[in-house]
Amino acid sequence: MTPYAINGVPPRGGALATFLLAGLLAPGPAPAADAKKPPTVEATVTLRDDAVSDQDDMCIWVHPREPSRSTIITSDKAAGKLFVYDLAGKTVQSIPAGRPGNIDLRYGFALAGRKVDVVAFNQRKGDEVWVFAVDAATRKLLRVDNGKIETRTNYGGTLFRSPKTSKLYFLSVCTTAEQIELLDDGSGKVAGKTVRQWKIGYSEGAVGDDEAGMLFIAEEDGGVWAIGGEPTDPTPGRRVARVGADGLRGDVEGLAIYHRPGGGGYLLVSNQSRDRFGVYGRRTPHRYLGSFAVRGARDTDGIDVTNVPLGRAFPRGLFACHSGVSGGCPVLLTPWDRIAGALPTALTIDTSWDPRKGK
């Protein structure tokens, strides 16, 4: 562990937001901690292929042997494609992909007698889940699902691996959350089986914390909900970040987890309407730690983060975010150390957690 600074917790903000008619929460006055603009950091790499239209979600794939050869995989529902970029912003691959939504990945999924890294997303055209495998040699994607993983109406989603059973699930979200187990169908393809579903407030974002056995769901006008990730866990869970508190306003969009060993780290939240990103403690009670902005990032949907050192360009990890600006809606890459040092109470840099081992 290589701490950048002691990880402290600032006091919570002041006034709560007022209630509107019909039970909706008004933005109201921002808490004292958010009365002034948050610190703004500079991205160092912009991902924008000539064919992109709106890359509103992404995931970071870490190369198993050469971290500097890692990639960023983006989903572009407007262009109907996936894009794979290297860390310098060069396009490695683009693939027709219907109308892809939120994209996520997990390492070491058992398929056809071997371990493969899989990338999955909610397919908004036809309401399905599509799954791809990463070829580490070429860094390209190959579709491996059986074309039969159906969902209810989906607008977002995430992957989750159970710490108890090692089973892999895709969580599809919209106004219903649907948890689907992903498994080898016996012919070398990935099949799906729905194991539970429950009603939620409208959502387009979620993230799974495999170590903690938790799922986090971004309710656009309500905040962030936490729920146990096992199919037998009770629903709907509990709200851990509320719109109207700590400067959080609707729309609440992308979620990401910065991992530290032993369950430490941060839950990051895209506060789309305020062009900023909230930082909360990963552990219960998920205390609010502050916010930051990335220059050029506006109306942000998807985000992702990794603590892994990725060569000279990102030696202390990176944060990736969508920007809803015209001209291709780029994805911006920012070194994590720029963010960690920018908040009044500095966050921690810890490069020791290994996403392939989960510790």
pLDDT tens digit sequence for 220-230: 999 999 999 99
Q: So what's the pLDDT on residue 54?
A: 93
Position 1 pLDDT exceeds 60:
no
Q: CB-based burial of residue 170 (10 Å sphere; 0-12 exposed, 13-18 middle, 19+ buried)?
A: buried
Q: So what's the pLDDT on residue 36?
A: 73
Q: How many domains does the chain have?
A: 1
Position 147 pLDDT exceeds 50:
yes
CA angle 51, 101, 150 (to 5 degrees): 130
Q: So what's the pLDDT on residue 35?
A: 52
Position 320 pLDDT exceeds 60:
yes
Q: What is the pLDDT of residues 249-270, one digit of tens each?
A: 989 999 999 999 999 999 999 9
Q: What is the pLDDT of residues 233-250, one digit of tens each?
A: 999 999 999 999 999 998
Q: Of 151, 172, 169, 150, whose CA–CA distance to 161 is shortest? A: 169
Q: So what's the pLDDT on residue 41?
A: 98
Report the CATH number at residue 200. 2.120.10.30
CA distances from 275 to 33, 269, 297, 350 (A): 16, 11, 7, 26
Beta bridge partners of 199: 176
Flag whether 16 is in a domain.
no
Q: CB-based burial of residue 150 (10 Å sphere; 0-12 exposed, 13-18 middle, 19+ buried)?
A: middle
Flag whether 11 is in a domain.
no
Average pLDDT over residues 183-201: 97
DSSP state of 33: G
Please list, in sequence order, all residues whose beta carbon lies within 8 angstroms of the beta carbon of residue 22, skipping any fewer than 6 positions away: none
**For the chain, first and last CA: distance in Å?**
12
Flag whether 156 is in a domain.
yes
Position 33 pLDDT exceeds 70:
no
Position 211 pLDDT exceeds 80:
yes
Q: What is the pLDDT of residues 84-117, one digit of tens each?
A: 999 999 999 999 999 999 999 999 999 999 999 9
Contact call for residues 34 and 57 (beta carbons, < 8 A): no
Flag whether 191 is in a domain.
yes
Q: So what's the pLDDT on residue 15?
A: 33
Flag whether 300 is in a domain.
yes
The band of 34, judged by pLDDT with boundaries at 50, 70 and 90, is: low
Contact call for residues 169 and 181 (beta carbons, < 8 A): yes
d(CA 101, CA 338): 29
Domain that holds residue 242: 46-340
Flag whether 153 is in a domain.
yes
Sheet holding 223-228, edge to edge: 203-209, 214-219, 223-228, 238-242
Average pLDDT over residues 328-356: 94
Flag whether 3 is in a domain.
no
d(CA 34, CA 194): 41
Position 309 pLDDT exceeds 90:
yes
Flag whether 349 is in a domain.
no
- Token pair in block for residue 326: 């015209």
